[in-house]
Each structure stands twice: as structure tokens, then as C-alpha cells.
């Protein structure tokens, strides 16, 4: 292949990524051209590693060695609850608490229209499919307490409403061990709204 064809093909390939248009793709190609062989090659190496080594569970989307993953195929887990998280690594964070006995569902990010991430880019359809069969009683939305995370949770709750499943959002409030002085107002407001009897 001709050199200019190589540039063109790489530009096209980069444009498939969300939020990367023609202009940005060209900029990345120039950067890589100028940065030299090593830069492009080490990025290629990592991409191949991703393709070869990382297996995602076909049910929950978590990182796994077997498929379905140990959690999805365990008979000890409560199959009536699904905890929805943004990324595969969030599962490990919840597992560390040893408190949640249900299943997970990884979205692979949050909605972000400006960055070109719409509902079809996330694993929302797959969640709807899981909820449809009627065995799921509760969906816990555990996306990050950010603007994007909240918007994504809201969107999902609307999508699964019709199936009559209980939909909850993890509590937002003051973090345990912190000082009220350093807590922002919105968090404080949420901690008042979510106050509980003791």
C-alpha cells in the first residue's frame, strides 16, 4: 500500500471512535507521525493486548476468564437483583464490600451526547433484555454521582419502567469519615433529602 493510503486508512479507522471527527483524527495521525515509530507501535501493542487478553462476560459485561463469569454463573448469587455500573472495574469495588449478593450489569461508560456517546453505544439494550424475562425484581443504578452518571441513570430508569421492576439509585450523601466543612452543597442537600430515622 502507498504511504498516503496508509495515512488515509489510519485516519478512517480513528474516525470510528466516539467523539473523533476527521479533523481530530488527522491531528492524531500527524502527532503519531511526528512522535515516531515507537509511539504508534506501543499503542498498537496495547490495542492488540486488549483484543487478545480481555474477555468480557457475555451477560454482565464484566472482565472474566470464563464465560459467563463466576458471578453470573454462581448459584449462590441472588438473581433477582442487578446492580448497574459504568465500567468493568466498578464490579471489583462493589465486591470488596462483601455486601451485595446480586448480579451486575456493566454499561461501558455513560451517555454523553457531546462526545458522541448515545444509548446505542452503551449496554442498555442488553440490560433491558435481562429485565424483560421477569425474574429480576430490582435494578440498582450505581453509576457515578456525576452529571453524566445521573443522566444515564435517569434514562435507564425510564427504559425499564414498563417492566414493573423496582428501580433504585445508590444513596448520595456525606462520605463516611469526611468533615462536613469539606462537603459541597449539593452533596449536603442530597444527604438531607435522603435522611433516615435512627
Residue number with CB closer to a copy of itself (22 or 161): 22
Region label for 77, one of left (φ > 0), alpha (ψ between -120 and 50) or beta (otherwise): beta
User: Shortest approach of a copy of itself to residue 176 CB, angstroms?
Assistant: 25
CA dihedral 109, 20, 55, 95 (to 10 degrees): -20
Nine-digit cell string for 165: 421492576
Smallest gap from Cβ 132 to a copy of itself, in A, equals 20
Among 59, 82, 96, 115, binds a copy of itself (CB under 8 A): 115
Contact call for residue 14 and a copy of itself (CB under 8 A): yes
Alpha carbon distance 120, 101 (integer Å): 29
Of residues 77, 94, 100, 109, which one binds a copy of itself by CB under 8 A?
109
Nearer to a copy of itself, 46 or 166 (CB): 46
Asked if residue 128 binds a copy of itself (CB under 8 A), the reply is no
Given the complex with a copy of itself, which of 32 and 183 has the nearer CB atom?
A: 32
Name the H helices within the chain: 3-15, 22-35, 37-53, 70-73, 88-97, 124-132, 147-160, 185-193
- Rounded to whole angstroms, the Cα distance separating 81 from 61 reads 16
Residue 104 pairs with which residues in a beta bridge? Answer: 83
Looking at residue 104, what DSSP letter applies? E
Answer for which of 88, 102, 149, 173 binds a copy of itself (CB under 8 A) is 88
What DSSP string runs through 134-155? S---EEEE---SSHHHHHHHHH
Query: Does the footprint of a copy of itself cover residue 4 (CB under 8 A)?
Result: yes
- Judged by CB under 8 A, the stretch of 37-45, 94-102, 153-161, 166-174 that binds a copy of itself is 37-45
Per the document, the length of the chain is 198
Q: Is 27 in the site for a copy of itself (CB under 8 A)?
A: yes
Q: Which residues bind a copy of itself (CB under 8 A)?
A: 1, 3-4, 6-7, 9-10, 13-14, 16-19, 24, 26-35, 37-56, 61, 63, 87-89, 92, 108-109, 112, 115, 117, 121-123
Amino acid at each position: 500500500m502507498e504511504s498516503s493510503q496508509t495515512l488515509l486508512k489510519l485516519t478512517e479507522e480513528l474516525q470510528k471512535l466516539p467523539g473523533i471527527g476527521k479533523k481530530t483524527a488527522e491531528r492524531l495521525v500527524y502527532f503519531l507521525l511526528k512522535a515516531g515509530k515507537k509511539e504508534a507501535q506501543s499503542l498498537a501493542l496495547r490495542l492488540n493486548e486488549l483484543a487478545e487478553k480481555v474477555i468480557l462476560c457475555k451477560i454482565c459485561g464484566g472482565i472474566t476468564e470464563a464465560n459467563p463469569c463466576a458471578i453470573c454463573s454462581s448459584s449462590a448469587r441472588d438473581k433477582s437483583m442487578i446492580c448497574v455500573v459504568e465500567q468493568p472495574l466498578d464490579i471489583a469495588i462493589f465486591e470488596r464490600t462483601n455486601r451485595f449478593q446480586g448480579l451486575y450489569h456493566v454499561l461501558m461508560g455513560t451517555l454523553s451526547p457531546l462526545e458522541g456517546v448515545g444509548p446505542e453505544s452503551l449496554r442498555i439494550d442488553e440490560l433491558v433484555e435481562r429485565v424483560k424475562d421477569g425474574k429480576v425484581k430490582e435494578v440498582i443504578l450505581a453509576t457515578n454521582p456525576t452529571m453524566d452518571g445521573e443522566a444515564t441513570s435517569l434514562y435507564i430508569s425510564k427504559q425499564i419502567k414498563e417492566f414493573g421492576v423496582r428501580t433504585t439509585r445508590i444513596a448520595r450523601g456525606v462520605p463516611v469519615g469526611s468533615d462536613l466543612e469539606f462537603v459541597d452543597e449539593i452533596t449536603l442537600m442530597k444527604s438531607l433529602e435522603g435522611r433516615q430515622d435512627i
